Amino acid sequence: MTTFATLLYDLDTASGILTITVNRPDKLNALNAATIEDIGTAFGQAQADAKVRGILLTGSGEKAFVAGADIVELAGLDVLAARRAAERGQEIFGRIEAGAKPVIAAVNGFALGGGCELAMACHMRVASSTARFGQPEVNLGLIPGYGGTQRLAQLVGKGKAIELLLTADMVKADQALSLGLVNHVVPQAELLDFCRQLLTRILGKAPLAVGLCLDSVNAYYDQQRHGYQTEAEGFARCFASDDFKEGTTAFLEKRQAAFTGN
C-alpha cells in the first residue's frame, strides 16, 4: 500500500470505510501539486481495493478542510504550466466524482478555492457549523481552475454561482445548506461520526446499484453522454445481477437483504 507525504489513509476494514485526511495543518491543508497527486493516487488505490466500500474525505485539524491552493507555488507558474496544472486538477477531481464508491466530504473548516472545488467533486458534503466555503480566486486575478465554475453552477444554480464567483464572498455553513452546496450541517464534534453513520446507511444498499446511481446522475452533466440512456442501461444491468435477485427475494420474504456487489 502506498504511503503519502501529504495525506493520512486510514481504512476501517470492519466497515469498509476509508478516511482520507489532507494533512498539511501548518499550511491549513492548502493544495500544492504534490498534494493533488497524492489525492489522485489515494483515490485510485481506494477504487481498486475491494476492501474499500465508501470514502470519507476531510482535513487535518479543526480550522480547515482545505483553505485553498498553495499561493507561493501558483505564483511561480507560467502560462503553459498553469494550463497543465488546471487540466491535471480537473482530471483528478473528475475521477473522484466519477468513482463508483460513494465519497462524502466532511468539511471541518475553511473550504476555499481549490478546497471548495475538492469538496464539490465529492458526491456529498457534510459541513461542521464552523465551516466556510468560497471561491475567492478573483481577489488574486484568477478564476477557479479545478472545475469550480462548472460544479458550483450545478449545485447552487447559474445566477448564484456567478455572484459568488464574481464577489468572492465567503459562505457560512447554514447559508451553504440553504443554497444546496452542502447536504447537512452538524456540530464540529459530531462531524466525523455523522458522516460515518451516513456512509454506513449507504453501504447497506446494493453496491452495484449505488455505483450505477452515481454514474447516471453524473451522466446528466456530461456533454459526451446521454443521462436517460445511461439510466436505462444501468437499470437493465441491475436485472443481470445477483444483488437484484437477492434484493427482490429478501423483500418478498420480509427479511434484510445480504448484498454481495455481484
Q: Give the integer Cα–Cα distance in Å for 110 and 131.
A: 5
Catalytically annotated residue among 37, 62, 91, 117: 117
Q: Give the integer Cα–Cα distance in Å for 5 and 124.
A: 26
Q: Left, alpha or beta for 38 (phi > 0: left; psi -120 to 50: alpha)?
A: alpha
In the beta sheet, which residues pair with residue 58?
21
180-to-124, 153, 177, 240 alpha-carbon distances in Å: 10, 11, 5, 35
CA dihedral 68, 72, 74, 75 (to 10 degrees): 140
Catalytically annotated residue among 137, 163, 231, 246: 137
93-to-44, 114, 146, 192, 233 alpha-carbon distances in Å: 11, 10, 7, 22, 25
List, in sequence order, the alpha helices (H) in the chain. Answer: 33-48, 71-75, 79-98, 114-121, 148-156, 158-167, 173-179, 191-203, 207-220, 227-239, 242-252
CA dihedral 113, 114, 116, 120 (to 10 degrees): 140
Q: Report the run of H or E that residue 183 belongs to, with start and end.
A: none
Contacts of 33 (CB under 8 A, 6+ apart): 73, 85, 88
DSSP class of 223: T
Active site residue 137: yes
Q: Catalytic residue numbers? A: 117, 137
